[in-house]
Structure 1
Amino acid sequence: MEFPTLDRLDLQVLHALQLDGRAPFSRIATALGVSDQTVARRYRQLRTTANVRVLGMTHESLLGRQNWIVRLHCVPDVAEQLADALAKRPDTLYVSLMSGGTEVFCGMKPRSLKERDELLFDRLQRTPQIVTVTAHCLLHRFYGGPHGWLNKSNALTPDQEAALRLPTPVPLDAPVTLDTADEALLAVLRRDGRATLTELQRAIGQSEPAVKRRLEALRSTGVLYFDVQCDHAPLGHGVGAMLWLTVAPRALADAGRSLAAHPEVHFASATTGQANIVVATHHRSPDELYTYLSEKIGVLDGIQAVESALILRQIKQLTYEPNRTADRGT
């Protein structure tokens, strides 16, 4: 992948943070062969120029929870208002306005079946401006989550990756149960994945060693991972798209593995519903999207149907920032 508006060191810093969002600047600097001050300065610049944020995320399935995606078709002129309201909810992961301006797409992570039902069967169904609601449970993630798309940038050499990559988490046999201190810790990291130990201590009222132990326990089991949020325009990606693929069941696993290897793909998952794979992609232009559909999607075995829609505006990407709405123009 090439990113025309960022230089190689910018991309290396981003790739390093994707591998370990809490890596000290000194550790990143050693791997990259530059000074600590240089890494810190580049990180500060990226926060401004590309809206880079490092955020602590939870692997919901390891907590015994479900992830859902919801598509809402609305009457004209209310989609943006609805998207903004959904983006403010703590149980939504991402919210987008889709092509046509009357469809809202969102990912949600209800903490319980009660929360799921409240949103899907109560609030949304009773909103008169919503014409249709379709909800799909994510069954198996092929790409995304802990495997952030910046890993596909190839900005780091294999040796640099090895110096920064953490050991692979070992999930427990049973779902993890969080206590109130864990929840408080995760709430802080959800806002700022690089929050200091002092800030984390203040949030849970425990000693620094206790905070470190909790962090290590959450990360080593895979419950907590760190993702990097950034605007796509500085990376040269002017077009974002959602694809809904209908794939023959026999070909589902192979199609998912192939999609995960595509550099254009930053999320892919098997889902419930007639379209059984959902894919999020980014491209430089509509022509590149066309080429991707015809030359990569079209040759996958077992593909029976493809629906595509452009992302007009990203209202929420991992975290909601009221003054930020990233357009994905065509």
Structure 2
Amino acid sequence: MPNSILDPLDYEIVRELQEDGRRAFREVARNLSVPEATVRTRVKRLQDQGILQILAFTNPSKLGQAKLALFFVSVAPQDHDRVVDTLGRWSEVSYLSTTLGSADVCVQVLCRDDESLWALQQKVRSLPGVEEVRVMQEVKVHKIRFTIPTVQSTEE
């Protein structure tokens, strides 16, 4: 099986953990009618391949004065990889993606207040190769979830 291809059992294991990332492997195994060792081995493989990461999300609206924002960054083509690498190492960055459209990079940041958000915007603008930064402050997050796509059955 190629490293990045999931089989139906992998999908089901991931779905179980998306419902509750703290769910015991024993419970996942019971729900899927497979041995616990199978679940443990597959989760480790998915983690090692970078397909699965289990983590805790915070609700930014419950953090007092915290500011959540999206930066849409236009970058000179020759500087793209370096800018992405730099932004990916910043603790304020919670999400980072290369995009198509009016910006080259989308960056979600979480800052403690307006002043730190302003300072971070200026820091991004000063990176060599950054041509433009547009900022959109997020007022309230209504949903954040990366749900694994449904597998189409080959028997249909």
Same fold (TM over 0.5): yes
Quote the residue 1:149 is aligned against: 147
> What letter is aligned with 2:58?
T
Q: Tell me the CA shift for residue 48 of structure 1.
A: 3.1
1:134 aligns with 2:138: no
Going from structure 1 to structure 2, the CA distance change for 1:77 and 1:6 (only over 3 Å counts) comes to: same
Identity fraction in percent: 22
Alignment of 1:15-54 (within 5 A): 15-54=15-54
1:14-69 deviations in Å (ceiling 9; x for gaps): 00111111111111112112221111111122223453211122111111223211
Is 2:8–2:151's contact at 8 Å kept on the other side of the alignment? no
Taking structure 1 as the reference length, the TM-score comes to 0.40
Local SS of the residue matching 2:117: helix
Q: Tell me the CA shift for residue 141 of structure 1.
A: 3.4
Alignment of 1:96-175 (within 5 A): 96-99=97-100, 103-120=104-121, 122-127=122-127, 129-144=129-144, 147-150=145-148, 153=150
Provide the rounded CA distance (Å) in 2 between the counterparts of 1:49 and 1:86.
23
Provide the rounded CA distance (Å) in 2 between the counterparts of 1:84 and 1:107.
15
Unpaired runs of 5+ residues, structure 1, are 156-330
Provide the rounded CA distance (Å) in 2 between the counterparts of 1:16 and 1:87.
29
Unpaired runs of 5+ residues, structure 2, are none
Q: Tell me the CA shift for residue 114 of structure 1.
A: 2.8
Taking structure 2 as the reference length, the TM-score comes to 0.80
Going from structure 1 to structure 2, the CA distance change for 1:50 and 1:129 (only over 3 Å counts) comes to: closer
1:154-204 deviations in Å (ceiling 9; x for gaps): 89xxxxxxxxxxxxxxxxxxxxxxxxxxxxxxxxxxxxxxxxxxxxxxxxx
Local SS of the residue matching 2:23: coil
1:95 aligns with 2:96: yes
Alignment of 1:169-188 (within 5 A): none
> What letter is aligned with 1:41?
T
Is 1:68–1:107's contact at 8 Å kept on the other side of the alignment? yes
Quote the residue 1:56 is aligned against: 56
Provide the rounded CA distance (Å) in 2 between the counterparts of 1:99 and 1:148.
19
- Aligned CA RMSD, in angstroms, stands at 2.5
Provide the rounded CA distance (Å) in 1 between the counterparts of 2:89 and 2:128.
20
Provide the rounded CA distance (Å) in 2 between the counterparts of 1:51 and 1:98.
20
Q: Tell me the CA shift for residue 123 of structure 1.
A: 1.3
> What letter is aligned with 2:75?
C
Alignment of 1:171-250 (within 5 A): none
Q: Tell me the CA shift for residue 99 of structure 1.
A: 3.8
Provide the rounded CA distance (Å) in 2 between the counterparts of 1:148 and 1:133.
26
Is 1:92–1:107's contact at 8 Å kept on the other side of the alignment? yes
Going from structure 1 to structure 2, the CA distance change for 1:154 and 1:76 (only over 3 Å counts) comes to: closer
Provide the rounded CA distance (Å) in 2 between the counterparts of 1:7 and 1:108.
34
1:12 aligns with 2:9: no
Q: Tell me the CA shift for residue 115 of structure 1.
A: 2.0
Local SS of the residue matching 1:143: coil
Going from structure 1 to structure 2, the CA distance change for 1:31 and 1:125 (only over 3 Å counts) comes to: same
